[in-house]
Structure 1
Amino acid sequence: MTRALLVIDMQRGFNDVDFWGGTTNPACEANVAALVERWRDAGEPIVVVRHDSVLPDSPLHPDNAGNALVDAVAAVEPALFITKDVNSAFYGDQDLHAWLGAQGIDALVICGIQTNMCVETTARMAGNLGYDTTVVLDATRTFDLTAEVPGLGAVTRTADDLMASTALVLQEGGFARIATTAEVVSG
């Protein structure tokens, strides 16, 4: 089995808690760096994905400094670099699915931001496309979420709740295995 590390949206703009709100898992960036180091040492392919928001006020808009990758990821010479403006890395400026097929890659290890948005969407698609998919939960991060939802009223979930729900749904839905950085790095 050939595998790739898929690093999703590890961008400086996600450090803007005034914009995003409360967050969890401050070890995310260090854990992503550990995964990147492991893949680099093993000579395995790393795919880096960057979200280019179409919203001018978003920290992730290409004209804003927050669009830049965090240092540990910016230093990577990826086998493939993808920019996207939607939740799934499979819908970016490069055809991820075609590239993976051409490389003979049938397994993905996914990390990055946001756990319940781009990481989850990409993992679901990867699972549906038949990839052996692992999400390294402690190498992801998300933010508290509050919204008015028709039929439900005001709904609030903490970042911790969202991470747990994502892990549960991905695992029990058969989309992906959930792992820790320590398990993946030592495996």
Structure 2
Amino acid sequence: MQAKLALIIIDMQKGMQSPVLDLVQWSRAQSFPIVHVRHISRTVGSSFWPGQAGAEFQEALSPLPHEHVVEKNVPDVFIRSGLERWLHVRGINQLIIAGVSTENSVEASVRTAGNLGFNVYVAADACFTFAKSDCSGRQRTAQEVHDIALANLQGEYATVMSALDIKQQLSN
């Protein structure tokens, strides 16, 4: 079966910032389907609560009318979203995943995608996260959290590469 590719952009809403635009422009130029994922919080007062400015897509990454939008309430985009079916109906078996946050929504979604049999690429430089404390209370930098999450995914669930390397490999 010929590989069919889609780009999945996770939670790039106004409440988040990242350089994902290059992958979007490349995917549009290649006519690859793009799936825009929006987190809709169940917590009243959250910046991702429906109707809050933070829940809207960033203008530069706004979906075009023909691009698919998925809303989720949990980190994993495949849970109760219909995304797996949407991809299978279109024969899509290869995914590029980018977005936020690396150790949360990105990692959860990539693990599921890999377990479901998709060939997954994670654009390491088009994902990001935030500093946090580990279980022993030691503060970890955003880069440390990001690197460990990507290491968890590399090989078993996905191929982790830069956006440029992914574009070069998949353009051949």
Which residue is 2:12 aligned to? 10
- Deviations 1:90-127 (Å, cap 9, x if unpaired)? 024x4011111100000110001111100110000000
1:184 maps to which of 162, 166, 172? 166
- Alpha carbons 1:47, 1:78 under 8 Å: kept: no
Supply the distance in 1 between the matched residues of 2:75 and 2:14 (Cα, whole angstroms).
18
Tell me the amino acid that sits aligned with residue 48 of structure 2. Answer: L
**Greater relative contact order (Cα < 8 A, sep 6+):** 1
Q: How much has 1:3 moved relative to structure 2?
A: 0.9
Identity of aligned residues (%): 32
Which residue is 1:156 aligned to? 139
Q: 1:126 to 1:78 in 2, by over 3 A?
A: farther
Q: How many residues align?
A: 167
Which residue is 1:166 aligned to? 149
Gaps spanning 5+ residues in structure 2: where?
A: none
Q: How much has 1:78 moved relative to structure 2?
A: 5.0
1:37 maps to which of 15, 25, 28? 25
Which residue is 2:39 aligned to? 51
Select between 71-80 and 108-117 the one with higher mean Cα deviation.
Answer: 71-80
2:58 maps to which of 66, 70, 73? 70
Which residue is 1:19 aligned to? none
Which residue is 1:114 aligned to? 101
Tell me the amino acid that sits aligned with residue 8 of structure 1. Answer: I
Supply the distance in 2 between the matched residues of 1:81 and 1:33 (Cα, whole angstroms).
16
Q: State the secondary structure of the residue aligned to 1:108.
A: strand
RMSD of Structure 2 on Structure 1 (CA): 1.6
Q: 1:75 to 1:127 in 2, by over 3 A?
A: closer
Supply the distance in 1 between the matched residues of 2:16 and 2:46 (Cα, whole angstroms).
10
Which residue is 1:128 aligned to? 115
Supply the distance in 1 between the matched residues of 2:10 and 2:64 (Cα, whole angstroms).
13
Structure 1 residue ranges, 4+ long, deviating more than 3 angstroms after superposition: 75-79
Supply the distance in 1 between the matched residues of 2:103 and 2:31 (Cα, whole angstroms).
29
Supply the distance in 1 between the matched residues of 2:131 and 2:44 (Cα, whole angstroms).
22
Supply the distance in 2 between the matched residues of 1:157 and 1:77 (Cα, whole angstroms).
40
Supply the distance in 2 between the matched residues of 1:125 and 1:75 (Cα, whole angstroms).
24
Supply the distance in 2 between the matched residues of 1:130 and 1:83 (Cα, whole angstroms).
22
Tell me the amino acid that sits aligned with residue 134 of structure 1. Answer: Y
Higher helix share: 1
Which residue is 2:157 aligned to? 175
Q: How much has 1:184 moved relative to structure 2?
A: 2.1
Q: Say whether residues 1:98 and 2:81 are aligned partners.
A: no
Supply the distance in 1 between the matched residues of 2:38 and 2:63 (Cα, whole angstroms).
14
- Alpha carbons 1:9, 1:51 under 8 Å: kept: yes
Q: 1:77 to 1:155 in 2, by over 3 A?
A: farther
Gaps spanning 5+ residues in structure 1: where?
A: 16-27
- Alpha carbons 1:14, 1:59 under 8 Å: kept: no
Supply the distance in 1 between the matched residues of 2:114 and 2:55 (Cα, whole angstroms).
28
- TM-score normalized by structure 2? 0.90
